[in-house]
Amino acid sequence: MSADRSVTAGLARALFAYAVSRGADPQTLLERSGVRSVDFVDPDTRVPMRHYLALMSTSMALCNDAALALKFGEVVRTEDLSVALSIASNTGTVGEARLQVNRFGRLIHGRQDPEILRFIKDRDGAWLVFNSESDGTTRPLQETGLAWCVRETRRMLENHHRGEPFPRAIYFNYEEPDYRSEYDRIFRVPLFFSRDRTAMLVDGGFLGLRMPSSNPYVTRVLGDHADRLLKRLDASTTTRGKVESLLIPRLCSGEAAVDLVAKKMGLSRQTLFRRLKSEGVTFEAVLHELRRDLAVDYIRNTRIAVSEVARLLGYSESAAFSRAFKRWSGMSPRTARESGPKE
């Protein structure tokens, strides 16, 4: 598994809440996984995959349930999994939804894939094929995603397409787990393990089915937001991007200090300054511009209260944030929000 793999903080937060609802101790979850509660503040920030998987394994242990990832998929919200899936849900057809998942797939698991969801036909029929590791390292994430996919697709088919069966069968590219009975309960179709791919057998005309919640406006707005998130994810490979990813969840707690960031990156203060200088920026400029960009994004593209935005960005008073926002944009937060895009 690549070291730069990641998931959204929204997904990690949803898993944390689910485990707690099942009886897991919150503090133990955080201590054993390496995830911090402050990491949950902005659902669009990234949590390293290793921390998410540690959170999942800890949740399984504390809840004494090896099938927890599968059961989590039965209840997780689409918007918590990824904005990419929210976009897909608002497209015109299942085929268009697949294209959107592929376009924004990196936001789901942080991996660069040309096509994470393929549609192929062979002598056995038509298949939705999921591009996933065969070594089982991210199996819990696969389990959650597959359970969610079957749940949401069946709901759509039952409500809008006369309950056409979905899927016909499922292949898994990992060995059969000890909790096979939970797979049978959730999927209710023939299941085949230790295959060369993870895939679902579907009807040949599946991609042409209309999506019931098609909304071009929502797709456009969410798509713009997803494009911004992809740019942020791309930037995370630079020193500046890594600094920003560490700063975002720490702004609200007052921990946005250069010494702490340098320590988290395993660098000395001087080395961090030197690397940022080679990219043409300073730590102070990165912090200032990050606050500015997040402020504009929160005010114009969300309905988060101004007082809460101020807190998220580390301002002790809303008035101080409003003055800073006016310097950045030339208008008050309220005016900027009222002049934002309308449906």
Q: Of 143, 31, 24, 131, nearest to 76 (Cα)?
A: 143
Same domain, 50 and 166: no
Same domain, 249 and 331: yes
pLDDT confidence tier of residue 12, bands split at 50, 70 and 90: very high
Same domain, 105 and 193: yes
Judged against a pLDDT cut of 70, whether residue 65 lies above it is answered with yes
**Boundary-marking domain end, from 188, 208, 228:** 208
Burial of 123 (0-12, 13-18, 19+ CB in 10 A): exposed
pLDDT in the model for residue 135: 58
Residue-range definition of the domain harbouring residue 35? 6-65
**Boundary-marking domain end, from 208, 229, 253:** 208
Judged against a pLDDT cut of 50, whether residue 342 lies above it is answered with no
Judged against a pLDDT cut of 50, whether residue 306 lies above it is answered with yes
* Residue at token pair 């996933």: 132
314-335 average pLDDT score: 90
Residue 149 falls inside a structural domain = yes
Query: pTM, whole model, 2 decimals?
Result: 0.69
48-74 average pLDDT score: 94
Q: How many domains does the chain have?
A: 3
Residue 223 falls inside a structural domain = no
The neighbour count for residue 270, using CB atoms within 10 Å, is 9
Distance of CA 34 to the CA centre of its chain: 18
**Boundary-marking domain end, from 187, 208, 229:** 208
Between 248 and 158, the more confident residue is: 158
- DSSP for 151-167 reads HHHHHHHHHHSTT----
Residue 224 falls inside a structural domain = no
Same domain, 61 and 87: no
Burial of 303 (0-12, 13-18, 19+ CB in 10 A): exposed
Report how far apart the first and last C-alpha atoms of the chain are (Å, whole number).
41
Burial of 304 (0-12, 13-18, 19+ CB in 10 A): middle
Same domain, 116 and 143: yes
- Cβ(126)–Cβ(119) below 8 Å: yes
Same domain, 180 and 269: no
pLDDT in the model for residue 136: 64
Residue 100 falls inside a structural domain = yes
Q: Which residues pair with 199 in a beta bridge?
A: 129, 171
Same domain, 146 and 191: yes
Same domain, 92 and 163: yes
Return the DSSP state at 81. Answer: H
